[in-house]
Amino acid sequence: MWRDAWLVAAKDLRIEVRSRVVLNQVVPFAVVVLGLFAFALGPDRTPMVQGAAGLFWVAVLFAAVLAIQRSFAVESSDEARDGLRLSGLDPAGVFLGKTAAVAAELVALEVLLSAGVVLLYGSHVHSWGTVVVAGVVGTAGLAAVGILYGALAAGLRVRETLLPFLLLPALAPVLLAGTRAWQAGLGTGPGGDSADPWVSLLAVFAVVYLALGVVIFGPLQEGG
Amino acid sequence: MDRAVFLRAAVALSGRFPALAGVDLTVEIGETVVLEGANGAGKTSVLRVCAGLLPVTGGEAEVLGCDLRHRPAAVRRRVGLLGHTSALYDELTVVENLRFAVRAAGADVAGIDEALDRVGLTGRLRRTTVGRLSAGQRRRVALAVLVARRPALWLLDEPHAALDAEARAVLGEVVRHAVDHGATVLMASHEPSASFPLADRVVSLAGGRVVGSRPVPATASDSGAESVAPTGTGGTARRAVVVGDVHVA
Amino acid sequence: MSGAVDSLVRRRVRGAVGVAALVSLAVTVWLGLWVTPPDVKQGQLVRLVYIHPPIAWVALYLAFGTAAVGSLLWLWPRTRSRVWDSLAAASMEVGVVFTALTLVTGSIWGRPTWGVWWAWDARLTSTALLLVLQLGYLALRRVPAAPDVRARRCAVAAVIAGVDVPIVHFSVDWWRTLHQSATVLNPDLTPTIHGSMAWTLLLGFVAMSLVFVWMLLVRYRIEVLAARCEGVELEVSLRERWAEAAPPELAHR
């Protein structure tokens, strides 16, 4: 399983390095989302700084939908699931590999996006540790659920509209917890708020969905 | 286990449509069988069922000792499917694609160079990304994947389409080499002149069922004389040969 | 096994459950509106306690729970049976109705107290997310596919959502309670229950559960009939498919 996961992750990341779709399209999209929020909230910086943590995570969520769709679009133009099933790879390994690749891409995107938040909204990072840990752990859970739903929707003609509808509500806990944790890290939360319960919630989310994915990805891929 | 493929009254659904409506097919190990029939007769579906991709909802289906009704995934490492679309990654080079496919199947990476030599992809082509290759060249890469993986059962879906004469010769040689080393080949084809010389037997499909089976004619002009009892339902014997659009060279 | 379950949904059983549901619901309404006293703090508004919590409980535990359990049973190869898939789908669809009703009754209840129709109360917010997850399941169900494929897809979706539900509850709960802000915390809607109110509340739970079971039986029956239709359609398609082989024989006669 681990060997197969490594194979798939390396393959996905190599394809991304060659094609640079996430870098050239998804990252700018996320930055544009940040800009749209700025327009919506008005030229006064105060609401932007206040909401920076939440807006960051919303932008990450939207970008994640695109990144996951890309992850499955890569698997041959038609019959997205045939190639991976025919390959003889362990499905649990495929799940972990794809999750790892998407998570890596999203973390890279988050690094750039946080620079964007600091620049555009004028946020100050009080606690780098909180921000980084929450980001990484949150992204792991995010990627796991995303790959699960992505596999469900892949190959369906309505996948472009169905995937966001399925995925985003399920990610509500990540948005809630990630925002609270980042608020603590950015110092924009109400005084006295600790990030610890939120980071542990993100960790539980990640562990639960990684475990679920490993178990259920095989049965999911069977059956036509 | 001396049967490579055993299908009995196999029904397979594609969405709500019965792609296979009760197929009876037995292929012995080491045999090369050609599937013929009109478009939509079910040739591709038979191949996909044998690859474990299309679930069987009725009847019996067993490939290389694996029961396809309950555990279709078990058979996938041991079969190789050359389909209409190739499961290749456009952004990776030929060699990278091969390495991935071979490692995924658990086969030996050392066989890659030899496989590429066999299909005639040499030198600079190996380092080209698949997206830049022509359709014929892509077919060759997909074929190289099969050669390198050495599956026990080869499933070829209209392999001669989009191949020029030279490539067809390469394909013929590759198939013969595989059969000499014990592989079983199941090939769907619209071109008897290209496929019959490679085969032991021809099976005719129509309406999702097998309507006839006969040994390959001794000469190319002998298309109808030796039609044997079909393995489908009784009463269709004489008609088996004329089903579909079989052209005689 | 399908036979035994199918007989359960036969008209008599459904009729009996339906009558029981109607009677208990009527009694609950009568007790709730006329017999029980109004609350000290909330006045007449408290009468919603006899239907809102029961509906919420049915929506989450009975409806979604049944759908989740049914999905798991379908996914487990040894217990796989069409019954579980039909049960899960029927339960999820009826559940959507109850979830929506939870939101509506909760909103009505909160309006006079909060002053707004929606105040991001922890329980209602979790319920709103549950509704969207259920709608997602139904959207997947509507995608045309072979019955087994569709069952598999929906079962997995139900399990993914099912795992999410408790996490959502916790996170939304913490979101409300750990958040110390300047705004006034919304007053808890739950009143103190005593005396005749307790019995009425219990009857409310029973009534709502019976209503759910009745709707479930009806919806399940529709699933059974739909499956039978699919079976007939398949027979027709198979015969048409076999006929594809016939015409050439006529041409070469």
Give the pLDDT of residue A121. 78
The helices-and-strands tally (H runs, E runs) of chain B is 6, 10
Confidence check: pLDDT of B242 > 70:
no
Confidence check: pLDDT of B249 > 60:
no
Q: Which two tokens stand for residue B7?
A: 């299908």
* Orientation angle between helical segments C122-142 and C147-177, nearest 10 degrees: 170
Cβ separation of A201 and C167 shorter than 8 Å? Answer: yes
Tokens 């409300």: give the residue.
C176
C149 contacts in B (CB within 8 Å)? 55
**Cβ of B92 under 8 Å from any chain A Cβ?**
yes
Give the pLDDT of residue B223. 45
Neighbours of chain C (3+ CB pairs under 8 A): A, B
Cβ separation of C129 and A169 shorter than 8 Å? Answer: yes
* Residue C130 is assigned to a structural domain of this protein: yes
Cβ separation of C75 and A216 shorter than 8 Å? Answer: yes
Give the pLDDT of residue B21. 87
Give the pLDDT of residue A192. 56
Give the pLDDT of residue C191. 61
Domain that holds residue C151: 2-177+193-238
Q: What is the pLDDT of residues B95-125, one digit of tens each?
A: 999 999 988 888 888 888 888 888 888 888 8
Chain A 68-87, residues with CB within 8 Å of chain C CB atoms:
none
Give the pLDDT of residue C79. 85
DSSP C171-189: HHHHHHHS---SSPPPPP-
**Side-chain-facing half-sphere of C25: CA atoms under 13 Å:** 13
Cβ separation of A88 and B105 shorter than 8 Å? Answer: yes
CB C121 within 8 A of CB C107: no
Q: What is the pLDDT of residues B158-189, one digit of tens each?
A: 888 878 888 888 888 999 999 998 899 999 98
**Cβ of B3 under 8 Å from any chain A Cβ?**
no
Interface test with chain A among C76, C160, C168, C183, by most A beta carbons within 10 Å: C160
Q: What is the pLDDT of residues A130-174, one digit of tens each?
A: 888 999 999 999 999 999 999 988 877 777 889 999 999 999 999
Query: What residues does each domain of chain A span?
Result: 2-221
Q: Which two tokens stand for residue A83?
A: 């190639």
Distance of CA B89 to the CA centre of its chain: 21
C-alpha span between B99 and C66 (Å, rounded): 47
Report helix, strand or coil for B25.
strand
The rounded mean pLDDT for chain B is: 81
Give the pLDDT of residue C29. 85
C-alpha span between B225 and B196 (Å, rounded): 15
Give the pLDDT of residue C85. 93
Query: What dihedral angle (degrees, nearest 10) is formed by the CA atoms of C52, C54, C59, C61?
Result: 140
CB A178 within 8 A of CB A57: yes
Q: What is the pLDDT of residues B22-39, one digit of tens each?
A: 889 999 888 899 998 888
Spell out the alpha helix ranges (H) of chain B: 43-50, 94-104, 111-119, 135-149, 165-180, 192-195
Which CA distances in Å does C134 have to A169, A170, B187, B238, C65? 10, 11, 45, 57, 12
List, in sequence order, every residue forming a beta bridge with B156; answer none if it has no partner.
B82, B187
B236 contacts in C (CB within 8 Å)? 245, 249
**Cβ of B207 under 8 Å from any chain C Cβ?**
yes
Phi then psi dihedrals of residue B150, to 5 deg: 50, 60
Cβ separation of C244 and B236 shorter than 8 Å? Answer: no
Q: Which residues of chain C have pLDDT under 70?
A: 1-9, 178-194, 246-253
Give C132: exposed, middle or buried? Use CB within 10 Å, 0-12, 13-18, 19+.
middle
* Residue C243 is assigned to a structural domain of this protein: no
Distant-in-sequence, close-in-space partners of C157: CB < 8 Å, separation ≥ 6: A149, A152, A166, C136, C137, C140
Closest CA to B170 of B201, B191, B142: B142
**Cβ of C250 under 8 Å from any chain B Cβ?**
no
**Cβ of A198 under 8 Å from any chain C Cβ?**
yes
Give the pLDDT of residue C5. 61
Cβ separation of A176 and C172 shorter than 8 Å? Answer: yes
CB C207 within 8 A of CB C54: yes
Query: What dihedral angle (degrees, nearest 10) is formed by the CA atoms of B47, B51, B54, B60?
Result: 90
- Which residue of chain B has the CA closest to A218? B73
Q: Which two tokens stand for residue A198?
A: 């939120």
Give the pLDDT of residue C38. 76
Average pLDDT over residues A9-35: 90
* Residue C17 is assigned to a structural domain of this protein: yes
Q: Convert B171-199 to b/e letters by CB count within 10 Å (16 or more is b).
A: bbebbeebbeeebbbbbbbbbbebbbebb
Give the pLDDT of residue A59. 94
Confidence check: pLDDT of A107 > 90:
yes
Q: Which domains does chain B have, with CATH numbers?
A: 3-242 (3.40.50.300)
The helices-and-strands tally (H runs, E runs) of chain A is 10, 0
- What percentage of chain B exceeds 90 in pLDDT? 9
CB A33 within 8 A of CB A59: yes
The number of domains in chain C is: 1
Give the pLDDT of residue C6. 63
Q: What is the pLDDT of residues A169-210, one digit of tens each?
A: 999 999 999 998 888 888 776 655 677 888 999 999 999 999
Which CA distances in Å does A20 have to A106, B89, B95? 13, 14, 20
Give the pLDDT of residue C246. 62
Average pLDDT over residues B244-249: 36
Give the pLDDT of residue A26. 92
**Cβ of A165 under 8 Å from any chain C Cβ?**
yes
Cβ separation of A193 and C179 shorter than 8 Å? Answer: yes
CB C120 within 8 A of CB C183: no
Give the pLDDT of residue A197. 85
Q: Which two tokens stand for residue C105?
A: 């009754």
Tell which wins on pLDDT, A223 or B142.
Answer: B142
* Residue C147 is assigned to a structural domain of this protein: yes
A197 contacts in C (CB within 8 Å)? 174, 178
- Which residue of chain C has the CA closest to B56? C148
* Orientation angle between helical segments A159-170 and A45-73, nearest 10 degrees: 130
Nearest to C149 among A177, A204, A224 (CB): A224
Chain B: closest CA distance from residue A130 (Å): 37
Going by pLDDT thresholds of 50, 70 and 90, the confidence category of residue B229 is very low
The ipTM of this complex is 0.87
Closest CA to C130 of C69, C206, C73, C61: C61
CB C241 within 8 A of CB C41: no
**Cβ of C149 under 8 Å from any chain B Cβ?**
yes
**Cβ of B54 under 8 Å from any chain A Cβ?**
yes
